[in-house]
Amino acid sequence: MSPRSRLPWARPLPLSLSLAALLALLQQQLLWRQPPRLDRLTPVAASSGPAALQARFSRPMDPASLQAASSLSPPLAHRWLGDGDTLLFNLAPDQRVSSPLILQLAGRDRRGLALPPQRWQWDPRPRLLAVVPVGSGEQVQLREHDGRWRPITPVWPRITMLEPLGNGEALAVVARSEAGRFRVWRVPLRQQPLRPLGRQGSAAPSPVLAGAPEPLGATDRVFAHISANRRGDLLVQAGGEQPDQVSLQLWPASGGPQDLPLEASGAVRLLPEGGSAVVPEIDGLSLQDLPPRPPRRQTLPGSRDLSSFCPRAGRALLVRHWPDFRRSLELVEPGLAPRQLWIGPQALVATACSRGGERLWAMLVEGSGRPALTLVSLDHRGSVLATRRLSRWELEPGTGLSYDPTSDRLAVVLRQLEQAQGAPPPAQVVLIDATSLTPEPLDREALQAIWLPAG
C-alpha cells in the first residue's frame, strides 16, 4: 500500500506550511489595522510635579498626539514624557490640586491610528494620617477629603511610629504594650484614586478601606524602629534584652523577611526608590546597597544626621553638627559633595523638601526656658524665600514636617505654649501653606501626623 493510500487526508508538507504562513500574515494584517488600546493606567510617585500617571499601550504611541488630544478638567498644565508604548503623564510643577480630576484620554499611535477616547476620574490628593489619643490609649485615624476623621486601627496603649508603605497600599505601625514592649504591625489599605468613567458624570468618592492589622515577627521587642520605601518594603530595626539581640530585617513587599548583616550606630533608613539604605556610623553616614545587589558602600564622613528625603531619587537633606555647636543644613545630590544651604546657632528640628530640593523648609528652635519656633523656606541655593515666627507654638517632640505637593501644604503637630494657669493644651494637627507659611490648625488632638500617598 502506498503512503498516499495509507493517509488519504494528509496534504503535502509545503502546502501546509504555506497555509500556516498565509494565516499568520492575515492575522498580522488584522492586528496591524486595529486601533491601539490602553492596557494599563496606574498612579506613580511623582518627582517633578504634584502627581503622575503611567500609561501602557498596546503599541508605541505618538506623545505629541496624546498631548494635543488629551485634556484635564479642571484644566491643569501637564505633559506626556517618554517614548514607545509606556509613557508618563505628569502634572507640571507649582500647581495645586483641590478636587478630583477628569482625564479625557485620546491620541494616535505612530501609524496614525486613533486610540478610542476614554474618560478617567483621578484624585491624586493624599489623605492625612494622625495618631490620636483615644481613652487611655492611642489610635491611627485618617482624615478624608471632606474633613471627616475615621479610625483605621485598633486602640493600642501607645503608638511610637507610623510609616506608609509603597504608594499607600499599607501602613506600618510600631505599638507599645502596657508592659512596655514593642511590636510592629502591618495594616493593609485599599484605595481607588483612579477609576474609568462613562460619557457623562463622575464617580462618588471612594473611602480608604483598612484591613485587620498583621503582626510582623512572633515576639515583642525592647525597642523597634521602622523605615519604608516606595516599593512597599519595610525595614524593621529591633532589639531584645541583650545588646547582641539587635536585629535588622527587611520585609519585602512580597515574601518573607531577610536578615541584613549591617552594623549601625543609630536608626537605619531605606532609600525611597529602594535598593539601598542610609546607615549611621561612628565616623559618619554610609550608603549601602541591599541584597540582591552586590555589596557596595559609600561613606560620608563627619558628624551628620539624615533629616529627610526629597522626592527626586538620590536627593536628601542632612543636618551637620559643628564643633562650635552650630548646625548647618546640607543638600546632597548624586555624584556631588553636600552643598550647605543654611548655618546658624539654632536647633534644626525638622525639614522637608519638594522635587529635587528646589524648595525646602526647616523648623528652627532658639532660646531656652521658653524657646522660640521659626519656620523658614529656602530655595536650592539657600536663599530665604519666607520666614514665619510661630511664637504661640512649640513642636511636638519626635515629630517632623510632611509635605504634600498636590496642595502645597506641610503637615505638622504643634502644641500651644503653656499659659500661666491651667492644664497644658494638647498637641494638635496644623496644616501650613508651604508658600506663605500661614498655619491652619485643624482642631484635632494628635501626637503624630503624616500624609498617606493616594496610590
Picking from 74-83, 91-100, 108-117, 411-420, which range would have the lowest pLDDT averaged per residue?
Answer: 411-420
pLDDT score of 171 more than 90: yes
Class of domain 303-455: mainly beta
Cβ proximity of 170 and 204 under 8 Å: no
> Do 303-455 and 38-122 fall under one CATH topology?
no
Q: What is the pTM of this model?
A: 0.90
Residue 223 cell numbers, joined: 525597642
Mean pLDDT, the chain, whole residue set: 91
Q: pLDDT value at position 158?
A: 98
pLDDT score of 251 more than 60: yes
How many other C-beta atoms can be found within 10 angstroms of the C-beta atom of residue 7? 9
pLDDT in tens, 1-11: 444 444 444 55
- For domain 38-122, the CATH superfamily is Thiol:disulfide interchange protein DsbD, N-terminal domain (2.60.40.1250)
**Angle 81-84-89 (CA atoms, 0-180°, nearest 5)?**
25
**List of E strands, 316-397:** 316-321, 327-332, 339-344, 347-354, 359-366, 372-379, 384-390, 393-395
CA dihedral over 423, 427, 432, 437, signed as positive or negative: positive
pLDDT in tens, 286-341: 999 998 889 899 999 999 999 999 999 999 999 999 999 999 999 999 989 999 99
In the chain, where are the structural domains located?
38-122, 149-302, 303-455
The band of 204, judged by pLDDT with boundaries at 50, 70 and 90, is confident
